[in-house]
C-alpha cells in the first residue's frame, strides 16, 4: 500500500503548475477543503501544527485547517459537527463526554476520569478532561486537526492525534460581532464578542460570550417533561499586554456551565444473552435464543412467553427519542480555567514561549439505569478534577535549520466514580441500597522534547525529533456496598515512561508538489481501573493496565493544479499498536484492559476544486482497515460464551469508509451583497462500539444531509443565514452501552441530533 501511495504521489506531482504563497509568508486563515476563492484561485492558510507558523500546504503532515469563516459556513458548534469536516475523524458521546476518534483511536473508556488517546488543546493548553472540551466552541479563529500519533511535539495521550482550537485574540481596533440564532425546538442561541484597546498599542482586551437554550429532542413519557434539552452559558475574557515589540503577554479566563435534563439513557432493547438459561435473580425472562430480559422491563409488565414485545408496557414509541423512566435525567456541569501565555523574541531568530494554565472540571449526571418506570436502579456519575500545566519552548531558525526544544509539566487530581442506588423504594435515606465505585487519582507528568528540521539542499528537508516522558500515577480505590456493610479501599501507585522519536523527510518538487514520509512513535500512559479492588469479593477486578504504544509509518502528498484551482492532500499510513487500551463493562465496573496487538492502515484525502469562480467543491474521505491482531477477552453480555478470540475484529468507532461532499456556490448580487448556498452529503459505513463487534452495539452504515443559505450585506456588516441539519430526521447512535447484570443488561443509546433548522442574524462592527 505504501509503494502504491508513493507512486500515486509521484504521478500526480509531475504535471503540477506553480502556485503562489511562500511557505513562510503570512496568509489569510481559510479552510483547506472550503477555502475562499481569489482571482488567483484558492487562498492559503497558515497553521501552527508544528509549533511554528507555516503554510498548510508546506507542512509535511496530515493536518486539516478550518478558518473562522469555514467554521461558520459549516455550522461547527461542537465536536460532533467537526467530524463531518475532517478526514479520518469520528465522534461519539456518552454521558455528555466527547469521544473523538482519529484513525480508529480515541477515548475508549466510558468511565469518568478516563484519558483520551486524541489530545485536545485550546490556545496551547492541554485539556485532560474530555467533557470540558464542550466549553470552547465559540469565537474561534481556526481549528487545526493533526492526524496520527504526535509523540514528539504533543506528547501526552496523543497516540491518535491532536485537535487544536485557537480562539480569536484582542484587536488593536474597536470591533466585535453579535449572532442571534432562532430555531426549532424553541432554540434561542447567542454568540458575540467585543474587542479593542484599553491603552492603544499596549493593552488590548476581548470579551466573548455564548448561550444556547432549547427544548428537548424528546420527552420522558412517564413524567411528561422534556429530555435532551439544553441550557448552557459560556464566557471568555482575554487581555494582551504589549510592553515592547519583543514581548507579548496574554492572560485569559473562561467559564462554562450547563444545567438541564440532557444526556439521558435511551432504552433500545435487551443486550444480554445466556443460552444456558440458568436461574438468576437478575435475569427474569429469556427468549428462545437466550436473550436476557432487563429487570425493570420485566417488572413493569412484560408478558411471559412474549418477552420481545416492548410496546406492552409503554405507549408506541413513534418518536425513538422518548424515554419512559420513573426519574428525570439531571445534567450539571461547570468548567473554568485561567491561562498565561508569554512570548519573548530574544533575537530575530530565537524566541521563547511559556504557557501556564490552571483548569477546574466538574460534572454530574443522574440517570435511570434500568430504563423503565419501575424504581429499580438509579445511577449518579461524577467527575471532579483540577489540573495545572506548564510548558516552556525555545525555538529558532537559520537559513537551513529550524529547531525547537521544550519542557512540559502536568499535575492533575481527579475525584470520580459513580453511585448506584438499588431498589430505592427500600432505601432508609442513609444509602442502605447504595453501591459506590470510584475514588481519586493523582497524576504527575514530566517531559522534555526537541524537534529539528534541516534543509540539506534546496527543497529537501530532514526532520528528527524526540520526547522523553515520565508519568507517575497514584490511586485511592473505594468500593462500598451498603446493604452488606462492605467497604473496601486500596491504594496503588506506579510510574510509566517512554521515549518517542520521530524521523521525517520531505521534498518540494519544481512544480510545487510536497512529498513527505515520516516514522514516529506514540505513547499513552497506563493507569488503574478506579474502584476495582483486587480480592474484594463482589465484582472484584484487577485494577492496573499497561501503557499504550504505537509505531506510525506515513507517506503523503500535497499539491495544487490548474492555476491554483485544484488542491489535493493525500496521506497513507500504517500503525502498529502494542497494548492498545480497550474497555468493557464488567461486574458493575468499567474495565480497561490491554489488547496485545492491533494494526491500522488506511488512506485519507482532502480535495478542493474551484471549477469556476464562486463554485467550490470539497471532498474529504478515508478508507480505514483497523483490526485487532492478537486479543483474547470475554464479553460480559454473553454469559454462555466464555473467552473469545477477537483477532480480525474491527476496532471500536472505526468505520471502514467515511466521506463528506460539500459543494458551495457564492455569487455577488447587483447591490454588492453576497449570497452563498452550501450542501453537505455525508456517508459513514458501519461502526461498532465494542471490540466484540456484535449487533447489540453498532451503528449501521448511513447517510446524512445538511444545507444552509447565507446572505451578507454589501458593506459586510449584516448577515442572515438559514440552516437545516439532518434533513431526513434520521436516528443515528453516537454511542451505546450495555449495562450491568443487576439491571439485566439493558441496552442504552446516546443519539445524534434530529433534524434541526433555524435562522442566524449577524452583525459586525
Q: What's the N-to-C CA distance of the chain in angstroms?
A: 52
Does residue 444 surpass a pLDDT of 70? yes
Nearest to 518 by CA among 596, 581, 462: 462
Most confident by average pLDDT, 155-169, 311-325, 425-439: 155-169
Does residue 79 surpass a pLDDT of 70? yes
Report the DSSP beta bridge partners of residue 260. 331
Does residue 428 surpass a pLDDT of 50? yes
pLDDT of residue 550: 93
- The answer to whether position 392 is within a domain reads yes
What is residue 130's three-state secondary structure?
A: helix
Q: CA 604 to CA 572: how far, in whole Å?
A: 6
CB 169 within 8 Å of CB 250: yes
39: left (phi over 0), alpha (psi -120 to 50) or beta: alpha
How far CA 752 is from CA of 15, 111, 227, 621, 737, in Å, comes to 43, 20, 14, 20, 15
Looking at per-residue pLDDT, the higher value among 287 and 189 belongs to 189
pLDDT of residue 432: 63
**Domain span at 396:** 2-174+272-364+374-651
Q: What is the tens place of the pLDDT at every residue in 182-193?
A: 999 999 999 999
Q: What are phi and psi of 171, to 5 degrees?
A: -115, 155
Average pLDDT over residues 416-425: 78
Task: Output helix, strand, coil percentages for the chain, rounded to the nearest 5.
Answer: 5, 60, 35
pLDDT of residue 12: 38
The answer to which of 205-219, 236-250, 688-702 has the lowest mean pLDDT is 688-702
CATH label of the domain that carries residue 401: 2.40.170.20
pLDDT band at 22 (very low <50, low <70, confident <90, very high): very low
To the nearest whole number, what is the mean pLDDT of the chain? 86
Q: CA 645 to CA 643: how far, in whole Å?
A: 7
pLDDT of residue 8: 37
Q: CA 387 to CA 361: how far, in whole Å?
A: 9
406 CB neighbour count, 10 Å cutoff: 21
- The answer to whether position 619 is within a domain reads yes
- The answer to whether position 335 is within a domain reads yes
- The answer to whether position 276 is within a domain reads yes
- The answer to whether position 211 is within a domain reads no
483 CB neighbour count, 10 Å cutoff: 14
Q: What is the tens place of the pLDDT at every residue in 631-664?
A: 999 888 887 888 899 999 999 999 999 999 999 9
pLDDT of residue 543: 63
Nearest to 98 by CA among 67, 136, 63: 136
Does residue 303 surpass a pLDDT of 90? no
CB 140 within 8 Å of CB 164: no
Average pLDDT over residues 130-153: 93
Buried b (16+ CB within 10 A) or exposed e, 293-315: bbbbbbbbebeeeebeebeebbe
pLDDT of residue 278: 67
How far CA 69 is from CA of 64, 73, 391, in Å, comes to 15, 6, 30
Q: What are phi and psi of 669, to 5 degrees?
A: -80, 170
pLDDT of residue 539: 47
Does residue 97 surpass a pLDDT of 90? no
Q: What is the tens place of the pLDDT at every residue in 219-238?
A: 998 899 999 999 999 999 99
Report the DSSP beta bridge partners of residue 143. 66, 165
Residues in the chain: 765
> Where is 497: in which H helix or E strand?
strand 486-508
What is residue 650's DSSP assignment? B
What is residue 169's three-state secondary structure?
A: coil
Share of the chain above pLDDT 90, in %: 57
Tally of domains in the chain: 1
The answer to which of 23-32, 121-130, 378-387, 750-759 has the lowest mean pLDDT is 23-32
Average pLDDT over residues 256-268: 93
pLDDT band at 246 (very low <50, low <70, confident <90, very high): very high
Q: CA 321 to CA 638: how far, in whole Å?
A: 27
Q: CA 189 to CA 193: how far, in whole Å?
A: 14
- The answer to whether position 20 is within a domain reads yes
Average pLDDT over residues 427-449: 83
Q: What Rg value do the Cα atoms of the chain yield, rounded?
A: 26
- The answer to whether position 658 is within a domain reads no
pLDDT of residue 30: 36
- The answer to whether position 189 is within a domain reads no
pLDDT of residue 29: 36
Q: CA 506 to CA 456: how far, in whole Å?
A: 11
Q: What is the tens place of the pLDDT at every residue in 585-595?
A: 876 677 888 88
How far CA 249 is from CA of 238, 241, 354, 624, in Å, comes to 11, 5, 10, 43
pLDDT band at 308 (very low <50, low <70, confident <90, very high): very low
Q: What is the tens place of the pLDDT at every residue in 511-569?
A: 899 999 999 999 999 888 887 655 444 444 556 789 999 999 999 999 999 989 999 99
Q: What is the tens place of the pLDDT at every residue in 358-372?
A: 999 999 999 988 888
Average pLDDT over residues 19-46: 48
Q: What is the tens place of the pLDDT at every residue in 705-729?
A: 999 999 999 999 999 999 999 999 9
- What is the DSSP annotation of 469-481? EEEEEEEEEEEEE
Amino acid at each position: 500500500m505504501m509503494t502504491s501511495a508513493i507512486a500515486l504521489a509521484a504521478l500526480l506531482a509531475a504535471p503540477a503548475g506553480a502556485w503562489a504563497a511562500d511557505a513562510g509568508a503570512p496568509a489569510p486563515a481559510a479552510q483547506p477543503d472550503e477555502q475562499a476563492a481569489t482571482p488567483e484561485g484558492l487562498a492559503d492558510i497558515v497553521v501552527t501544527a508544528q509549533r511554528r507558523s507555516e503554510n498548510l500546504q508546506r507542512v509535511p503532515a496530515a493536518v486539516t485547517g478550518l478558518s473562522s469563516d469555514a467554521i461558520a459556513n459549516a455550522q461547527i458548534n461542537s465536536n460532533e459537527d467537526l467530524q463531518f469536516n475532517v478526514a479520518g475523524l469520528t465522534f461519539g458521546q456518552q454521558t455528555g463526554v466527547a469521544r473523538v476518534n482519529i484513525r480508529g483511536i480515541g477515548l475508549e473508556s466510558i468511565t469518568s476520569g478516563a484519558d483520551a488517546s486524541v489530545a485536545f488543546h485550546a490556545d496551547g493548553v492541554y485539556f485532560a478532561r474530555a467533557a470540558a472540551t464542550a466549553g470552547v466552541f465559540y469565537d474561534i479563529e481556526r481549528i487545526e486537526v493533526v492526524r496520527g500519533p504526535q509523540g514528539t511535539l504533543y506528547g501526552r495521550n496523543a497516540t491518535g492525534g491532536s485537535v487544536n482550537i485557537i480562539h480569536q485574540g484582542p484587536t488593536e481596533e474597536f470591533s466585535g460581532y453579535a449572532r442571534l440564532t432562532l430555531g426549532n425546538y424553541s432554540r434561542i442561541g447567542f454568540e458575540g464578542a467585543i474587542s479593542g484597546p484599553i491603552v492603544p498599542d499596549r493593552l488590548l482586551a476581548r470579551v466573548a460570550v455564548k448561550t444556547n437554550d432549547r427544548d428537548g429532542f424528546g420527552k420522558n413519557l412517564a413524567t411528561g417533561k422534556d429530555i435532551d434539552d439544553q441550557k448552557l452559558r459560556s464566557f471568555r475574557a482575554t487581555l494582551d499586554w504589549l510592553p515592547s515589540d519583543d514581548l507579548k503577554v496574554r492572560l485569559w479566563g473562561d467559564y462554562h456551565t450547563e444545567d438541564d435534563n440532557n444526556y439521558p439513557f435511551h432504552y433500545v432493547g435487551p443486550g444480554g444473552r445466556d443460552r444456558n438459561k440458568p436461574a438468576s435473580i437478575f435475569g427474569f425472562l429469556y427468549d428462545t435464543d437466550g436473550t436476557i430480559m432487563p429487570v425493570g422491563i420485566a417488572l413493569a409488565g412484560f408478558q411471559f412467553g412474549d418477552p420481545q414485545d416492548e410496546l406492552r408496557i409503554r405507549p408506541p414509541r413513534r418518536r425513538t427519542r422518548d424515554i419512559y423512566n420513573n426519574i428525570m435525567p439531571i445534567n450539571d456541569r461547570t468548567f473554568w480555567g485561567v491561562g498565561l501565555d508569554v512570548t519573548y523574541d530574544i533575537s530575530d531568530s530565537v524566541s521563547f514561549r511559556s504557557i501556564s494554565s490552571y483548569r477546574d472540571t466538574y460534572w454530574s449526571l443522574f440517570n435511570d439505569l434500568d430504563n423503565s418506570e419501575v424504581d429499580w436502579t438509579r445511577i449518579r456519575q461524577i467527575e471532579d478534577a483540577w489540573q495545572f500545566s506548564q510548558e516552556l519552548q525555545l525555538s529558532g531558525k537559520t537559513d537551513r535549520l529550524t529547531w525547537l526544544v521544550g519542557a512540559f509539566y502536568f499535575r492533575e487530581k481527579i475525584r470520580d466514580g459513580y453511585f448506584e442506588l438499588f431498589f430505592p423504594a427500600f432505601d432508609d435515606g442513609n444509602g442502605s441500597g447504595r453501591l459506590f465505585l470510584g475514588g481519586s487519582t493523582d497524576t504527575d507528568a514530566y517531559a522534555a522534547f526537541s524537534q529539528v528540521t534541516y534543509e540539506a539542499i534546496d527543497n529537501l528537508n530532514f526532520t528528527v525529533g524526540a520526547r522523553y516522558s515520565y508519568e507517575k500515577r497514584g490511586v485511592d480505590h473505594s468500593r462500598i456496598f451498603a446493604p452488606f456493610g462492605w467497604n473496601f479501599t486500596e491504594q496503588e501507585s506506579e510510574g510509566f515512561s517512554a521515549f518517542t522519536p520521530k524521523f521525517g523527510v520531505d521534498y518540494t518538487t519544481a512544480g510545487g508538489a510536497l512529498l513527505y514520509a515520516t516514522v514516529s512513535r506514540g505513547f499513552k500512559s497506563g493507569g488503574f481501573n478506579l474502584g476495582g479492588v483486587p480480592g474484594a469479593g463482589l465484582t472484584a477486578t484487577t485494577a492496573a493496565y499497561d501503557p499504550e504504544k504505537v509505531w506510525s509509518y506515513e507517506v503523503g502528498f500535497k499539491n495544487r493544479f490548474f492555476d491554483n484551482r485544484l488542491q489535493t492532500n493525500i496521506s497513507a499510513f500504517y500503525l502498529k499498536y502494542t497494548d492498545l487500551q480497550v474497555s468493557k463493562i464488567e461486574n458493575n465496573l468499567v474495565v480497561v484492559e490491554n489488547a496485545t496487538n492491533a494494526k491500522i492502515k488506511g488512506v485519507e484525502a482532502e480535495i478542493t476544486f474551484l471549477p469556476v469562480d464562486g463554485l467550490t467543491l470539497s471532498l474529504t474521505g478515508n478508507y480505514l482497515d483497523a483490526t485487532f491482531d492478537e486479543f483474547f477477552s470475554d464479553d460480559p453480555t454473553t454469559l454462555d460464551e466464555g473467552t473469545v478470540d477477537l483477532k480480525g475484529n474491527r476496532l471500536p468507532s472505526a468505520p471502514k469508509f467515511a466521506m463528506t461532499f460539500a459543494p458551495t456556490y457564492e455569487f455577488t448580487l447587483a447591490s454588492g451583497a453576497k449570497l452563498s448556498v452550501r450542501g453537505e452529503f455525508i456517508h459513514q459505513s458501519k461502526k461498532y462500539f465494542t471490540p466484540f463487534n456484535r449487533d447489540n452495539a453498532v451503528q449501521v452504515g448511513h447517510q446524512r444531509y445538511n444545507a444552509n443559505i447565507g446572505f451578507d450585506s454589501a458593506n459586510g456588516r449584516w448577515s442572515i443565514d438559514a440552516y437545516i441539519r439532518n434533513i431526513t430526521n434520521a436516528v443515528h447512535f453516537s454511542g451505546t452501552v450495555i449495562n450491568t447484570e443487576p439491571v439485566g443488561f439493558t441496552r442504552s443509546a446516546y443519539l445524534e441530533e434530529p433534524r434541526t433548522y433555524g435562522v442566524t442574524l449577524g452583525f459586525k462592527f
